[in-house]
Chains A and B, each alone.
Chain A
Amino acid sequence: MNVTIVDYGAGNLGSVTRAFESLGAAVTLARDPAELSGADAIVLPGVGAFAEAMDFLDRGGWLPHLNAAVLERRVPVLGICLGMQLMAARGKEGGDTPGLNWLGGGVVRRLNPPPESAARLPHIGWNDLIRKQEHPLLAGIPEGATFYFAHSYHVDDLPEPCVLCRSAHGLEFVAAVARDHILGVQFHPEKSYANGMRLLRNFLETAGGNPRA
């Protein structure tokens, strides 16, 4: 199956590409929105800041193509880190900016852990997940499994049915979302060893692929 990764031109997509290739997928790094037409699954990776990324998608003519693929053709999509945040209704990083609005709400705000928690930002490193509901994206991932995070912002005010799990860094924040075929994770599965690979494999399976074990 073809996994099309949206290339914002803002950094390293090698890890995500290699992870999907090792699962047997053919990866397209799309620099042109027309390339979305051949996608069996789409990945919005996590590089940069909210306002700049939305500006890039807007100026590059990506928005109508992304909406047609995801909302009309219902191509499965996985957002990673910033890529998940872009799916919210609005973002407050770099000014108040409209997002893709694929999750029925959500506002991206800076994490604000209470001072007594001594939690510092950015939230960099490994954390575990607090499950809110079962979902095929998390199939086979053991309780206590940890994932690599690197972010200062989180998706707030999401409709609760979207929330698959949270994580805690001074306060609980949304770590994974799902709305039908629209999936997102705040962490970096491509940097999270076997647990992350299992999640990416689950994504390909939910997208109808037959990934290598």
Chain B
Amino acid sequence: MHKVRVIPVLLLGERGLEKGVGFRDRVYVGCPRNAARVFNAHRVDELVLLDIVATPAGRLTRVEYVRDIARETTMPFAAGGGIRSVEDMRALLEAGADRVVLNTAAVESPRLIEAGASRFGSQCMLVSIDAVRLPDGRYEVYTACGTSPTGLDPVETARVAEAAGAGELLVTAIHRDGTMSGYDLDLIRRVVDAVNIPVIAGGGAGSAEHIAEVVLQGGAAAAACGAFVVFYGKRRTVLITYPTVTDLRAVLPAERVRDRDLLPPPDIASARL
């Protein structure tokens, strides 16, 4: 049985790993290399690394981080930020990423998805769509790390990305990001119903229950987590955690939860950064 994936999303800012609320007010969380090592020790299902200052700065994801993480870990991981060409994708894949993540470029130029899919395969192309809920209940896609409104409906953007060859979508509700108040089930359901490829839900994870909700009610194939896995407690102390198999089996059908190697948890599982 295909398992539900829980995917930490690490945001690479100017100072290192950062995390905010609603894509704003980011605080420094720690060293991306250490965080990746700790997540690898947790045997996470997959990891996503996004260089969130790449597009605004007009450059590609910092490849050195991708290379270091690939050298020091064995988990499946996707990397993105600032990708503008097939050559950019190749650079990230050669540095050791298993998949690339397109956001701004996917919206501005779906042909880039097509070019990447024909070169590296659809399973390699993860398209990230960030959306905000408008007062009238509609949604609008934002690019450039949530700074640039597009006037586009995420359902339409998702369909275009799928037609161009995206293998999976990461759909993030900006208004839920960092709040740990639960995913936007309505947004996720709309996109899931509009496409045939798997959808990773993003924005709002705060508990195992939220993950179960977005999978069972929202139809997501996987749950992306940010604040939930880097902050601990009401005071948002920086601490890397990852929901346990027991946590997930309490809220999801047991056969959809991956038994992580049937080995005891590693010592550094809850190490501080």
Interface residues of A (CB under 8 A from B): 10-12, 14-15, 18-19, 47-49, 119-128, 142, 144-146, 148, 150-152, 168-169, 188, 190-191, 193-196
Contact = CB atoms under 8 A, between A and B. Distances in A.
Given A12-B94, A48-B120, A124-B198, 5 more contacts: A12-B93, A49-B121, A120-B197, A146-B259, A191-B98
Contacts of A124: 123, 167-168, 198, 221
B17 to A, nearest CB: 23
Contacts of B70: 12, 14-15
Contacts of A168: 1-2
Given A10-B120, A152-B122, A169-B2, A126 B261 contact: no
Q: Is the interface of B mostly helix, strand, loop or mixed?
A: loop
Q: Is the interface of A mostly helix, strand, loop or mixed?
A: mixed
Interface string B34-46: 0000000001011
A190 to B, nearest CB: 7
B5 interface: yes
Interface stretch (B71-79, B102-110, B150-158, B204-212): B71-79
A138 B143 CA distance: 46
B2 A12 contact: no
A45 to B, nearest CB: 12
A124 B191 CA distance: 18
B96 A12 contact: yes
B74 A191 contact: yes
A14 B76 CA distance: 12
B260 A144 contact: no
Nearest to B197: A120
A194 B263 contact: yes
Nearest to B45: A126
B198 A128 contact: no
A211 to B, nearest CB: 16
A120 B121 CA distance: 16
Contacts, number: 100
A91 to B, nearest CB: 14
A10 B116 CA distance: 12
Nearest to B219: A118
Contacts of B96: 12, 14-15
B121 A125 contact: no
A104 to B, nearest CB: 27
A169 to B, nearest CB: 5
B5 A122 contact: no
Contact of A194 (B98, B196, B261): B261
A27 B180 CA distance: 45
A194 B70 CA distance: 17
Contacts of B90: 11
A193 B260 contact: yes
A127 B74 CA distance: 17
Given A122-B168, A191-B76, A128 B196 contact: no
A10 B259 CA distance: 32
Contact of A122 (B76, B123, B258): B123
Contacts of A19: 74
A47 to B, nearest CB: 8
B97 interface: yes
B134 interface: no
B262 A11 contact: no
Given A151-B123, A193-B43, A146 B258 contact: yes
B2 A119 contact: yes
B3 interface: yes
B187 interface: no
